[in-house]
Amino acid sequence: MEKRKLGKTGIETTILGFGAMRLPTIEEGNSEIKEDEAIKIMRKAIDAGVNHVDTAYNYHDYKSELVVAKALKDGYRDKVTISTKSPVWHEDFKETEHFDKYLNESLKKLDVEYIDIYFLHALNKKRWDEKIIPLKLLEEGKKAKEDGRIKFFGFSYHDAPNNAREMIDSEAFDVMLIQYNILDDQYEPIIKYAVDKGLGVFVMGPVGGGRLSGNPPKEMQSLLTKGRTDFTDLAFKYVWSNPNVSMAFSGMSSEEQVDDNLSIAAAKETTLTREERINTKKIETKFKELTDLICTSCNYCMPCPNEVNISFIFRSMIMAQVYGQEERGKLYYSKIGEKDWPPGKRADECIECGECEPKCPQKIPIIDQLKKAHDLLSS
């Protein structure tokens, strides 16, 4: 499997990494991990050459790190580098001292003396200004490197591309983790900027959070690689065609997914041909056209006076109807209003007041579409 240098860290990473966010679970939508199966597929990936495992403090209801620790017993820790993430987004993370608290907890759960790459989790401009800088967490990261608890310091990012410049320019970080795929290519310039500044770049969501791994609509079947029923291969090759990307993380939850991803990563050609590059642009364009027929996610219709989560309902509908992920779309829909996320009410709670429709710049018949969404997602 191809390896690439990770910025100035001196680490050479395989182009495919194991993400421990979507480990096999007892049932769909449940966070309880099937430990034996998770350990088996993680080790299978490592045996095939994958040399990095990524997790986070909170994944799988705070149990992912514990299972990763078990998978890395019996000599497997020596075969990989590992990364985990500081939950700076958490409401209980209020003091500078909490950096050490959560880092030490992760070290204990992972059962390691040091963590190769420690990310500040889910940074955005607001969190940077209101928490990272005031709590002096950059200094805490530097101290953790100096005392040997972490080798390298990084940040994972979820915000407008240019807002990452301030974080990159801080010179506090060695690695950036960011979303990038056929459908989310707006981050390409900031990836190059980070690499030009000496950072290594990991990519999350190479398959678009599952959007590119479903059965595509009939009008897109001609764009599939011969013998495939989804765009997973093109999705990975798209990411790997960017020389500024060191590794793409894949959240693997089955042996079948591991085998498929390994075969793509070990193929003779792991970057796009000219024809494939043309096809990825067609995929991006067509998916946008089909998605926009349902909703462009502008959120002008929100908030609903009856708290119907219109935007999230249509996102669930798009997942099922456009991206061929019907079960996932139904799962998302079923979660609305159950806990804190996603908030609000489902489509059958619409009282047809009509307040939303005049606000929609696309003139989408929201009331009728909510009925269709409920029929599709609750069946």
Q: 206-248: per-residue pLDDT in tens? A: 999 999 999 999 999 999 999 999 999 999 999 999 999 999 9
For residue 290, being part of any structural domain is answered with no
Q: 95-122: per-residue pLDDT in tens? A: 999 999 999 999 999 999 999 999 999 9
> What is the model's pLDDT at position 28?
75
For residue 280, being part of any structural domain is answered with no
Residue 295's DSSP bridge partners are: none
Preceding peptide of 134 cis, ω within 30°:
no
Are residues 62 and 142 located together in one domain of the fold? yes
Are residues 362 and 322 located together in one domain of the fold? yes
> What is the model's pLDDT at position 339?
76
> What is the model's pLDDT at position 30?
74
Are residues 304 and 246 located together in one domain of the fold? no
Q: What torsion do the CA atoms of 231, 199, 19, 2 make, to the nearest 10 degrees?
A: 60
With a cut of 90, say whether residue 338 has pLDDT above it.
no
Question: pTM of whole model > 0.85?
Answer: yes
For residue 285, being part of any structural domain is answered with no
With a cut of 90, say whether residue 341 has pLDDT above it.
no
DSSP track, 45-82: HHHTT--EEE--TTHHHHTHHHHHHHHTTTTGGGG-EE
Are residues 247 and 362 located together in one domain of the fold? no
For residue 355, being part of any structural domain is answered with yes
Indicate the number of domains in the chain: 2
Q: Which helix (H) or strand (E) holds 202?
A: strand 200-204
Q: 270-288: per-residue pLDDT in tens? A: 999 999 999 999 999 999 9
Q: 63-88: per-residue pLDDT in tens? A: 999 999 999 999 999 999 999 999 99
Reading the block at residue 199, the tokens are: 């950072």
For residue 330, being part of any structural domain is answered with yes
pLDDT classification of 91: cutoffs 50, 70, 90: very high
The CATH number covering residue 182 comes to: 3.20.20.100
Are residues 326 and 249 located together in one domain of the fold? no
Q: 153-211: per-residue pLDDT in tens? A: 999 999 999 999 999 999 999 999 999 999 999 999 999 999 999 999 999 999 999 99
Are residues 309 and 210 located together in one domain of the fold? no
For residue 312, being part of any structural domain is answered with yes
> What is the model's pLDDT at position 218?
92
Are residues 259 and 328 located together in one domain of the fold? no
Closest CA to 316 of 300, 330, 335: 330
Are residues 74 and 198 located together in one domain of the fold? yes
Are residues 118 and 163 located together in one domain of the fold? yes
Are residues 59 and 165 located together in one domain of the fold? yes
For residue 281, being part of any structural domain is answered with no
Are residues 266 and 303 located together in one domain of the fold? no
Sign of CA dihedral 261, 263, 266, 268: negative
Are residues 219 and 303 located together in one domain of the fold? no
Range of the domain at 108: 3-273
> What is the model's pLDDT at position 80?
99
> What is the model's pLDDT at position 133?
99
User: Average pLDDT of the chain?
Assistant: 97
For residue 289, being part of any structural domain is answered with no
Q: Which residue has the higher pLDDT, 348 or 339?
A: 348
Preceding peptide of 303 cis, ω within 30°:
yes
The residue out of 240, 273, 306 marking a domain boundary is 273
